[in-house]
């Protein structure tokens, strides 16, 4: 995780594309192997077999992932209900419900699109069969592609959260979060400070040198004091005796890193403390701000919040890399349609 290249949405996009292509390739190889076992050699009509294999590989992924998608959607629904009860209703807190519904409806839509088209056209004719096959594959490509991107997001976020930073840090930037009306940190911010203190104490015990803690966060319009000062009040109550610096002007994560950088002097090994689900995105921001060797320390969040937050990371990846995603989907669709046109033109199937 220390490498800057790991802190990039491009990594998520490339990994998702690799999962997509690997799944299709695995199904292709399984089908060819099955034909070899059945015929004791390759299918004599190999071109027809290849066409069938290519056009069915992606839709086969839909059927394979249908049950896991249903189970994942059900879990998201449960997590979202708990989140709404504990955190209140908001658009962000509804992401799990919306994604769960999209997964279920998307699977059912792709599986039944052939039957739906049968009501508006003759899908059993030569043209109708190829046309319906093209439509079915376009919908399947889009659905499976985004499903693979979600898997990539979960994997990379999970890896970032569970990365163990070595105890060689000069500074730890504690990212701010909303404070309570009495000026003390709320639960989320308090856990971030505690994660930084825990790491600092472990490093001091192991190496004899504690990192400098930078509390980063300005004062919101509805906050009594700055987030940095709130963290300072809390750490004084904890009787922490290490060195502390305050950055009390920032208003978002970008500014947390930008303004904190001005307080850092010739440091090579830097860490930041934030909530676990926020580690990967914060690392992306830090990389964009020019931090070349920085690692995250994740403070544990409630389980019901964690999974809803992963969906935000998925949406952030799609938004930031939208040009790449559109290019990938169009390229795959054009290839698939070309195969179907080739089949239609030369009467392969």
Question: What would the two tokens of residue 285 be?
Answer: 């921001």
Provide the pairing of β-strand 294-299 with 270-275: parallel
Of 89, 86, 79, 91, nearest in space to 306 by CA:
79
Q: Provide the H-helix boundaries in the chain.
A: 9-39, 46-87, 95-117, 126-161, 187-207, 227-237, 253-261, 279-288, 303-320, 322-346
Q: Which CA distances in Å does 305 have to 142, 152, 188, 310?
A: 27, 19, 11, 9
pLDDT for 296:
93
Order the strands of the 270-275 sheet from edge to edge: 244-247, 212-216, 171-175, 270-275, 294-299
Whole-angstrom distance, CA of residue 138 vs CA of residue 131: 11
Residue 160 makes CB contacts below 8 A (sequence gap 6+) with 1, 6, 279, 280, 283, 296, 298
pTM (2 d.p.): 0.81
pLDDT for 2:
39
Whether the CB-CB separation of 64 and 148 falls below 8 Å is answered with no
Domain map (residue ranges) of the chain? 4-162+308-346, 171-268
Q: Digits of tens for pLDDT over the chain (349 positions)?
A: 434 446 788 889 999 999 988 888 877 677 666 655 655 555 555 555 566 666 677 777 777 777 787 788 788 788 888 887 876 666 666 777 777 778 777 777 777 777 788 788 887 888 888 888 888 888 888 988 998 998 999 899 888 888 899 999 999 999 998 888 888 898 889 999 999 999 999 999 999 999 999 999 999 888 899 999 999 999 988 888 889 999 999 999 999 999 999 999 877 789 999 999 889 999 999 988 888 788 999 998 888 788 778 888 888 888 889 999 999 999 999 988 988 888 888 776 5
């Amino acid at each position: 995780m220390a490498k800057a290249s790991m802190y990039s949405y491009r990594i998520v996009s490339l990994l998702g594309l690799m999962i997509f292509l690997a799944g299709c390739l695995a199904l292709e190889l399984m089908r060819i192997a099955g034909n070899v076992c059945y015929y004791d050699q390759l299918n004599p009509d190999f071109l027809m077999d290849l066409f069938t294999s290519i056009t069915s590989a992606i839709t086969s992924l839909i059927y394979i992932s249908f049950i896991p998608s249903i189970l994942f959607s059900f879990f998201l629904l449960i997590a979202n209900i708990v989140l709404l009860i504990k955190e209140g209703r908001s658009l962000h807190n509804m992401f799990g419900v919306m994604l769960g519904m999209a997964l279920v409806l998307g699977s059912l839509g792709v599986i039944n699109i052939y039957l739906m088209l049968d009501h508006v056209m003759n899908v059993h004719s030569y043209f109708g069969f190829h046309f319906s096959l093209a439509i079915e594959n376009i919908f399947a490509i889009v659905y499976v592609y985004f499903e693979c991107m979600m898997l990539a997001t979960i994997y990379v976020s999970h890896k970032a959260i569970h990365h163990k930073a070595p105890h060689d840090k000069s500074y730890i930037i504690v990212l701010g979060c909303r404070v309570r009306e009495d000026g003390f940190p709320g639960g989320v911010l308090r856990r971030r400070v505690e994660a930084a203190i825990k790491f600092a104490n472990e490093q001091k015990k192991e190496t004899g040198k504690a990192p400098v803690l930078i509390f980063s966060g300005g004062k919101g319009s509805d906050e009594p004091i700055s987030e940095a000062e709130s963290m300072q009040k809390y750490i004084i109550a904890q009787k922490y005796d290490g060195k502390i610096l305050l950055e009390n002007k920032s208003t978002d994560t970008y500014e947390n890193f930008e303004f904190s950088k001005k307080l850092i002097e010739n440091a090579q090994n830097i860490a930041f403390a934030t909530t676990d689900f926020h580690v990967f995105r914060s690392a992306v921001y830090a990389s964009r701000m020019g931090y070349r060797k920085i690692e995250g320390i994740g403070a544990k969040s409630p389980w019901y919040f964690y999974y809803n937050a992963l969906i935000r990371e998925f949406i952030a990846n799609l938004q930031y890399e939208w040009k790449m995603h559109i290019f990938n989907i169009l390229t795959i669709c054009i290839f698939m349609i070309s195969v179907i046109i080739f089949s239609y033109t030369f009467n392969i199937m």
